[in-house]
């Protein structure tokens, strides 16, 4: 049995589509960092004549399964874009629901996150979030800090441009005397020390970056799927990885460069 199939033993029926996908995936060419723009919750609800918040509620099940799938695949970093700085413009009821869902997710899933050896982390201006959310986030970080498997990063109150502004301000504070380099900026981003995303997935068919990881995605492979986030499951993640493995990454060179030898 191949290494990846072993990680899913007992979870899938041998004839399932996932087994076929897992057999086709090259375990030596997995992305080191997958970032996801989870989009389409509102449209999912609208199609069913349901309030938008039901779309977000259903989206939490997708978060749960995708996080577990990434952990089984031993993907080193998974970043989920859950709330942008622009999302504060939404109706208060929707914002409150999103904050509540995040707290509920942590309360319900923390044991499972630990069992899967996942380390919980965040990026974004966390200090501007409500106190109860900050408390839940620090509990999740504290209880998972010794885990060595997938690092789950939830982007909250996040903006790619503001991340750059924050890093440039930190550069000013450091009073660096040499001309600034890419390395200086890399080291001050919220994602300092982490590999840049190899694969960026966006659900619901929109061809936009929406202010997400603007610096980090310079050479990221982008995969846009029509699937709405609440319908996105482990098999969709596997399909995206398979498609990623078919791409030839050249980083401006004329020959292919792999995830391993770029870093």
Which residues are designated catalytic? 39, 87
Shortest spacing between CB 77 and ligand FPP, in angstroms: 15
Q: Report the alpha-carbon distance of residue 135 to residue 68 in Å, rounded.
A: 24
Instruction: Give the bridge partners for 143, in sequence order.
Output: none
SS3 83: strand
| Long-range pairs, 163-172, Cβ under 8 A, ≥24 | 163/123, 163/124, 163/189, 163/190, 163/213, 163/214, 163/215, 164/189, 164/214, 164/215, 166/125, 166/190
Instruction: Catalog residues that contact ligand FPP under the rule CB under 6 A.
Output: 38-43, 56, 59-60, 63, 80, 82, 87, 98, 101-102, 105, 154, 204, 229
Longest distance between any two alpha carbons in the chain, whole Å = 61
Indicate the residue among 21 and 82 with the shorter CB distance to ligand FPP.
Answer: 82
DSSP 129: S
Shortest spacing between CB 50 and ligand FPP, in angstroms: 12
Indicate the residue among 188 and 230 with the shorter CB distance to ligand FPP.
Answer: 230
Q: Report the alpha-carbon distance of residue 171 to residue 97 in Å, rounded.
A: 36
Shortest spacing between CB 141 and ligand FPP, in angstroms: 14
For residue 255, count other CB atoms closer than 10 A to its CB.
7
Shortest spacing between CB 235 and ligand FPP, in angstroms: 18
Indicate the residue among 52 and 235 with the shorter CB distance to ligand FPP.
Answer: 52
Burial class of residue 76 (count of CB atoms within 10 Å of its CB; 0-12, 13-18, 19+): middle
Indicate the residue among 49 and 261 with the shorter CB distance to ligand FPP.
Answer: 49
- Identify the CA nearest to 232 among candidates 46, 11, 69: 69
When CB distances to ligand FPP are compared, the closest residue is 42
Shortest spacing between CB 104 and ligand FPP, in angstroms: 8
Among the residues of the chain, which ranges form H helices?
3-7, 17-24, 41-47, 52-72, 92-115, 131-144, 160-174, 182-186, 234-246, 259-262
Shortest spacing between CB 86 and ligand FPP, in angstroms: 9
């Amino acid at each position: 049995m191949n290494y990846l199939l072993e990680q899913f033993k007992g979870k899938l029926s041998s004839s399932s589509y996932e087994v076929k996908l897992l057999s086709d995936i090259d375990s030596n060419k997995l992305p080191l960092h997958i970032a996801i723009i989870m989009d389409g919750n509102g449209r999912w609800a609208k199609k069913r004549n349901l309030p938008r918040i039901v779309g977000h509620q259903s989206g939490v099940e997708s978060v749960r399964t995708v996080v577990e799938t990434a952990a089984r695949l031993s993907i080193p970093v998974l970043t989920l874009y859950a709330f942008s700085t622009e999302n504060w413009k939404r109706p208060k009821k929707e914002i409150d629901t999103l904050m509540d869902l995040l707290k509920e997710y942590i309360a319900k899933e923390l044991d499972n996150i630990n069992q899967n050896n996942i380390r919980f982390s965040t990026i974004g201006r966390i200090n501007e979030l409500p106190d109860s959310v900050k408390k839940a986030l620090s509990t999740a970080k504290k209880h998972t800090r010794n885990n060595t498997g997938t690092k789950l990063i939830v982007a909250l109150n996040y903006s790619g441009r503001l991340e750059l502004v924050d890093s440039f301000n930190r550069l000013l504070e450091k009073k660096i005397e040499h001309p600034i380099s890419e390395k200086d900026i890399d080291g001050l981003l919220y994602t300092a020390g982490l590999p840049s995303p190899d694969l960026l997935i966006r659900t619901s068919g929109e061809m936009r970056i929406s202010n997400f990881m603007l610096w980090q995605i310079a050479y990221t492979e982008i995969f846009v799927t029509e699937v709405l986030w609440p319908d996105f499951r482990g098999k969709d993640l596997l399909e995206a990885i398979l498609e990623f493995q078919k791409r030839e990454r050249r980083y401006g060179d004329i020959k292919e460069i792999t995830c391993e030898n770029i870093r």
